[in-house]
Chains A and B, each alone.
Chain A
Amino acid sequence: MTDNKQLRVSKIESGTVIDHITGGQALNVLAILGIDGTDGEVVSVGMNVPSDRLGRKDVVKVEGRELSQSELDVLSLIAPDATINIIRDYDVVEKHVVHRPDSVTGVLRCPNHNCISTEDEPVGSKFAVTDDGVRCEYCETIIREDLAAHILV
C-alpha cells in the first residue's frame, strides 16, 4: 500500500505529467504518444486512481520528455479531461488542458478495409475531427464510438 501510494504521488524531476485521463485509457494514451518503453524513458502509470472529478482516473508520468501541445491535443479524442503539467526541477512550469484538434494524422486506423489509407501507399491515415467523432479524410468513414479501438500501433 505504501509502495502504491509512493508511486502515485512520487514527483518527477523533469518531464510531463498527464493527469485526469479517463479511467482505463492510460495505455491508449501511451500508444497514441508512441511511448512503449523501448526508448528507455522512465514512465509511470497509475490506473483507476480515485478522483473527485472523474470518479476514477489514470495518470501517466513521462520523465525527461516534454510533450508538445499538438502531441497532447490528440489525446483529447480519448481523454477529453486530461490535464498536462510540464515539470522542470521538480516544479510545475507549465499547465495545459487538451483541445480537440481539427485533424489527426497517423494516429488512427480507418476501420473501412476498402479505404485507400489502409493500403500500401505513401500516405498516413488522416482524420478530420468533428463535434462528436472523427472522419476519414479519404473514404469519409465516420467513427463515433470507441476511438481507442482504432489506434494505430
Chain B
Amino acid sequence: MDQNHLISAKGLSRADIEAVLDRAGEVAADPAAAAGRHEGSLLGLLFFEPSTRTKMSFAAAVKRMGGDIVDMGPVDSSSVKKGESLADTVRVVEGYADALVMRHPSEGSARMASEFVDVPLINAGDGAGQHPSQTLLDLYTIRESAGLDDLTIGIMGDLKYGRTVHSLAYALTNFDTRQHFISPESLKLPRNVRYDLHEAGSEVKEHTDLGATLPSLDVLYVTRIQRERFPDESEYRQVAGEYQIDTDTLADASEDLRVMHPLPRVDEIGHGVDETDHARYFQQAHNGVPVRMALLDLMLGGD
C-alpha cells in the first residue's frame, strides 16, 4: 500500500484489494480468531465532520481485535475550533495512537495530513474527494454476491460530490468490469475522476437516465442526491425524483440485480425494495466491521 497510508483508491492495487478482502473473509468466517490480535493498540479517531457509522464501525473493528480508541470528539469542543491547523493537530495526535482515521471537509486533507505523520493514516472521507475504506467494504459486498470480474455495474446519483463513488469507480478499474454512470447533467463525474478512469483504460459510459442500462446490470450502486447541491427546493425535488428507485423501477431489472447504497438513504430507494432479494445495502453496512478489521489488521502489522 501507498506508504502505509490509505488515502485514495488510487493507492490500492488489485493485490492490495484482494489481500484486504481475503483477510476480511477469514475474519467474517471466524471472528473469534481475530480477538486479541491487536491487544493494546490504540486507534486515533479524528472526525472533523460528523459521522455515525464510519466512526462506529472503525471503533467496533479495533475493539473486536482487543484494541481501543482515542477520539478527538466533535470539532466544536476541540482545539481545532481555536484555530489550530490540521497539520499541528495530526502531529500531536499521532503521539497518542498507533494509527489514525480521519474525516475532514476539505479535499486533499488526508493527503496533506499524511505528510506530517509516520503512523498509518486512513482517509475516512476528504470533502468530495475519496473514501477508500468504504470502497473496500463495497468491493467485499460485490465480491461475495456477484463476483468482481465480468461485472456490469451502474453507479447512480450524485457522482460529482460523491466521494464513495470516486473511490469505487477507480478501484473497479482493477477488475474486469463495465461501469455505467447515471446522474443528472449537473452532477456528472468530475473531470479528474473521468481522467483517471480513462488513464486506467476504462471506458466511461455516462447516462442521464437509468432506463436503457438497467436490464444489463449485475449491481446498481445508488447514492444520495443532496438538497444543498441545488439552488432551490423545487428543482431539487424534480431532479432527485428522477433518480429514485422502487419495486416498479426494478421490474425491468435482472432477477439477480443487487442494489447497494453506502447509507444513510433518505428516499432514493423505496422501502419496498428492502424486502426483495435485490437489497444488499444492509449486508453492505454490516460488512463494514470485518472489512475494517482486516484493513486495520494489515495496516497495524498483522501477519
Q: How far is the CA of A123 from the CA of B86 in the complex (A)?
A: 11
Given contacts A114-B106, A116-B106, contact A138 B111 (CB under 8 A): yes
Tell whether, in the assembled complex, residue B109 and residue A116 are in contact, meaning their CB atoms are under 8 Å apart. Answer: yes
Q: How far is the CA of A153 from the CA of B128 in the complex (A)?
A: 27
Contacts of B2 in A (CB 8 A): none
Q: Considering residues B87, B111, B127, which has the most beta carbons from chain A within 10 angstroms of its beta carbon?
A: B111
Task: Identify the stretch in A58-66, A80-88, A139-147 within 8 Å (CB) of chain B at 4 or more residues.
Answer: A139-147
Given contacts A123-B115, A140-B129, A141-B192, contact A115 B87 (CB under 8 A): no
Chain A residues with a Cβ closer than 8 Å to the other chain, count: 18
User: Is the C-beta of A29 less than 8 angstroms from some C-beta in chain B?
Assistant: no
Give A101-136 as 1s and 0s: 1 = Cβ < 8 Å from B's Cβ atoms: 000000000001011110111110000000000011
A-side interface mostly: loop
Number of contacts between A and B (CB, 8 Å)?
56
Tell whether, in the assembled complex, residue B85 and residue A136 are in contact, meaning their CB atoms are under 8 Å apart. Answer: no
Tell whether, in the assembled complex, residue A116 and residue B112 are in contact, meaning their CB atoms are under 8 Å apart. Answer: yes
Least CB separation from B194: chain A residue: A142
* B229 CB → nearest A CB, Å: 14
Tell whether, in the assembled complex, residue B107 and residue A139 are in contact, meaning their CB atoms are under 8 Å apart. Answer: yes
Q: Considering residues A121, A137, A141, A142, which has the most beta carbons from chain B within 10 angstroms of its beta carbon?
A: A121
Contacts of B106 in A (CB 8 A): 114-116, 119, 139
B-side interface mostly: mixed
* Cβ < 8 Å to A, chain B residues 82-129: 85-87, 104-109, 111-112, 115, 126-129
Tell whether, in the assembled complex, residue B87 and residue A121 are in contact, meaning their CB atoms are under 8 Å apart. Answer: yes
Least CB separation from A110: chain B residue: B108
User: Is the C-beta of B175 less than 8 angstroms from some C-beta in chain A?
Assistant: no
Tell whether, in the assembled complex, residue A142 and residue B108 are in contact, meaning their CB atoms are under 8 Å apart. Answer: no
Contacts of A119 in B (CB 8 A): 86, 106
* A139 CB → nearest B CB, Å: 4
Contacts of B111 in A (CB 8 A): 116, 137-138
User: Is the C-beta of B195 less than 8 angstroms from some C-beta in chain A?
Assistant: yes
Q: How far is the CA of A114 from the CA of B107 in the complex (A)?
A: 6
Q: How far is the CA of A140 from the CA of B192 in the complex (A)?
A: 6
Q: How far is the CA of A139 from the CA of B215 in the complex (A)?
A: 36
Least CB separation from B8: chain A residue: A140
* B166 CB → nearest A CB, Å: 9
* Cβ < 8 Å to B, chain A residues 57-81: none
Tell whether, in the assembled complex, residue B112 and residue A117 are in contact, meaning their CB atoms are under 8 Å apart. Answer: yes
Tell whether, in the assembled complex, residue B108 and residue A139 are in contact, meaning their CB atoms are under 8 Å apart. Answer: yes
Given contacts A114-B127, A142-B192, contact A122 B85 (CB under 8 A): yes
* B121 CB → nearest A CB, Å: 14
Q: How far is the CA of A140 from the CA of B166 in the complex (A)?
A: 12
User: Is the C-beta of B191 less than 8 angstroms from some C-beta in chain A?
Assistant: yes
Give B126-144 as 1s and 0s: 1 = Cβ < 8 Å from A's Cβ atoms: 1111000000000000000
Identify 24 residue pairs between A and B in the complex whose beta-carbon atoms are under 8 Å apart, listed by A's number.
A112-B107, A114-B127, A116-B104, A116-B109, A116-B111, A117-B108, A119-B106, A120-B85, A121-B87, A122-B85, A123-B112, A135-B192, A137-B108, A137-B111, A138-B107, A138-B112, A139-B108, A140-B107, A140-B129, A140-B192, A141-B107, A141-B192, A142-B191, A142-B195
